[in-house]
Structure 1
Amino acid sequence: MKSVFLIALILALGSCQAAEVAESLSAQDRSFSSVILEGVEAFRGVLQNGSPQYGIPVMAPMKLAQRALNFNSGEFSGTLGVEDFVLQGLDQYEVISMRMEVLRSRLSFEFLFPSVNATTNYDLDMGSGYRVQRNGGAFFALENLNIQGRINYSLGVLSSQLRVKDILIYVSVGNVNSQIENLSKYRIFNRKLNEVVEEFVTLTINDNTDFVASWINEQVTPICNELIGDRTLSDIIAIITGGN
């Protein structure tokens, strides 16, 4: 009987200790999540005002006076020029969820952009067996753009040096709005061509989420680790919170 009582006492104490540890970890999760959420919300100001010390220009709105792009895909080649380009909506995100899991060493998140849109004047000169020249105004928008993902990281045993293991980001779009002038001189054909553009972009984004996530992981993860350098998790949090 004494043995049974002793075992029961040990299990009860162990349960209490486990509950305290779980509550402590849960509190840490909430604390880190809150800090990161504050940083993400503060990033709106960086997008709107830029950060010259880090070489970040104003991106909400993002403006380009003039830019030319040369392309050659084998079948198609040519030049696309844009003037008075304005991209808006990067700062109008809604944070759907933001959760830091200290025990699992990962950060999960989800953002929703109601509309990321661009207006510009374009000039297209393209060759594909015959020459095509088009110019005019253009409006293009990704509506209900959803970005969700997870960042897995690791910490050194002694130094707590932060290392990003992988970054998985999945992108989907609710609707695409294309209003590009002069794709055809006939208005009805021009509308149909814009509908083709809308469908193509929608399918390209929504049917290739795994490919995009893999590509982003391969490209961005090593860049993040290079930028982190020898910094610890505490250093990164201090940067996010401005040293507080």
Structure 2
Amino acid sequence: MKSVLLIALILALGSCQGAEVAEPLSAQDRSISSVILEGFEAFRGVLQNGSPDYGIPVMAPMKMAKRSLDFSSGEFSGTLAVEDLVLQGLDQYEILVMKMDMIRSRFQFEFNFPSVNVTTQYDLDMGSGYRMKRSGGAFFALENLNIQGRISYSLGVFTSQLRVKDVLVYPSVGNVKSEIENLSKYRIFNRKLNEVIEEFVTLTINDNTDFVASWVDEQATPICNDLIGDRTLSDIIGIITGGN
């Protein structure tokens, strides 16, 4: 995942700096914005085919044979196991905004995903005063998932070393679809429980955008700078123009 973040960061920041690449861009009759768009279209291929050089597996679709998770929160604790999980839709993004503000050293973006969805078989063993075990098939989707945000950065005066100042990401979702089997043995109750899940996830995402932005910034900014390391702007441009 860190490698994916580095590739996206290189595409977003490295290809946006016109000062050192103005002449070759002009010679190839391509604007800065077109280079950025081409980069993110190429990144779609990375998601679909993986990138062995960066240790990135195929992520569209992403498949997982089996995984289990132990959780504990207050009175609730248990184990959730998933099998034959398939995550789809990460490569189906539409680029709505791709804007560079070189005066303020800021890059703005907005993506829309029609549907990011998971299909799996699950096995839940939970204790909350009484033991509850459930298992069956599950489908869960975030529809019209919108991701917009901003990356601010700075360049060293003498070395052109790139530093990320903040990474702000604001998510929202148009609709949540939950079809989890066997939450209840009664079909009508099972549908109602899925509706509760849908409403809870929708409100959690849409009513906590500022919290998410702050959390992502705290997590992503130091990771980005750690991954960039000693690379200068020229190094990053070299990666892009070298076809890597």
TM-score category, normalised to shorter length: 0.7 to 0.9
**Percent identity of paired positions between Structure 1 and Structure 2:** 80
Question: 1:53: how far off?
Answer: 1.1
- Please give the secondary structure, in 2, of the residue aligned with 1:184: coil
- Range that drifts further, 192-201 or 100-109: 100-109
- Which position in structure 1 is the counterpart of 2:179? 179
CA positional deviation for 1:35:
1.9
Letter in 1 for 2:180: I
Distance in 2 of aligned mates of 1:106 and 1:31: 17
Q: What is the CA distance between 1:104 and its match in structure 2?
A: 1.3
Could you tell me which residue of structure 2 aligns to residue 196 of structure 1? 196
| Stretches of structure 2 lacking an aligned partner (at least 5 in a row) | 1-17, 23-29
Contact kept, 8 Å, 1:35 with 1:237, in 2: the verdict is: no
Q: Is the Cα–Cα contact under 8 Å of residues 151 and 166 in structure 1 kept in the other structure? A: yes
User: Tell me, what secondary structure is at the counterpart of 2:82?
Assistant: strand
Q: Tell me the number of residue pairs that the alignment of Structure 1 and Structure 2 aligns.
A: 220
State the 1:232 CA deviation.
2.0
Give the SS at the match of 1:154. strand
Q: TM-score, normalised by structure 2?
A: 0.86
Q: How does 1:66-85 map to 2 (within 5 A)?
A: 66-85=66-85
Give the CA deviation at 1:84: 0.3
CA RMSD of aligned residues (A): 1.9
Between the aligned partners of 2:121 and 2:97, the Cα distance in structure 1 is 37
Are 1:148 and 2:171 an aligned pair? no
- Separation in 1 of the partners of 2:134 and 2:242? 49
Counterpart AA for 2:195: E
- Tell me, in whole angstroms, the C-alpha distance in 2 between the residues paired with 1:105 and 1:234: 17
Q: Are the aligned partners of 1:141 and 1:176 in contact in 2 as well (CA < 8 Å)?
A: yes
Partner of 2:124: 124
In structure 1, the residue matched to 2:88 is: 88
TM-score of the superposition, structure 1-length normalised? 0.86
C-alpha displacement of 1:132: 0.5
Q: Distance in 1 between matches of 2:168 and 2:207?
A: 16
User: Would you tell me which structure has more helix in proportion to its own residues?
Assistant: 1
Provide the residue aligned with 1:101 in structure 2. Answer: 101
Distance 1:33 1:235 in 2: 20
Query: Structure 2 counterpart of 1:163, which letter?
Result: R
| 1:110-164 CA distance string (max 9 Å, x none) | 0000000000000000000000100000000000000000000000111111000
| Residue identity in the other structure for 1:120 | T
Alpha-carbon distance in structure 2 between the residues aligned to 1:99 and 1:233? 19
Contact 1:35 1:241 in 2 (8 A): no
SS of aligned partner of 1:212? helix
201 and 212 in structure 1: CA distance in 2 versus 1, 3 angstrom threshold: same
| Greater C-alpha radius of gyration | 1
Q: Give the Cα–Cα distance (whole angstroms) in 2 for the partners of residues 242 and 58 of structure 1.
A: 22
- The structure with higher relative contact order (CA 8 Å, sep 6+) is 2
- Structure 1 unaligned regions, length at least 5: 1-23
* 1:162 and 1:231 in contact (8 A); partners too: yes
Task: Return the offset for 1:241.
Answer: 4.2
**What is the rounded CA distance, in whole Å, between the counterparts of 1:33 and 1:162 in structure 2?**
20
1:38 equivalent to 2:38? Answer: yes
In 2, the alpha carbon distance for the partners of 1:159 and 1:238 equals 15
Deviations 1:178-232 (A, max 9, x none): 0000000000000000000000000000000000000000000000001111112
Amino acid at match of 1:204: T
Amino acid at match of 1:104: R
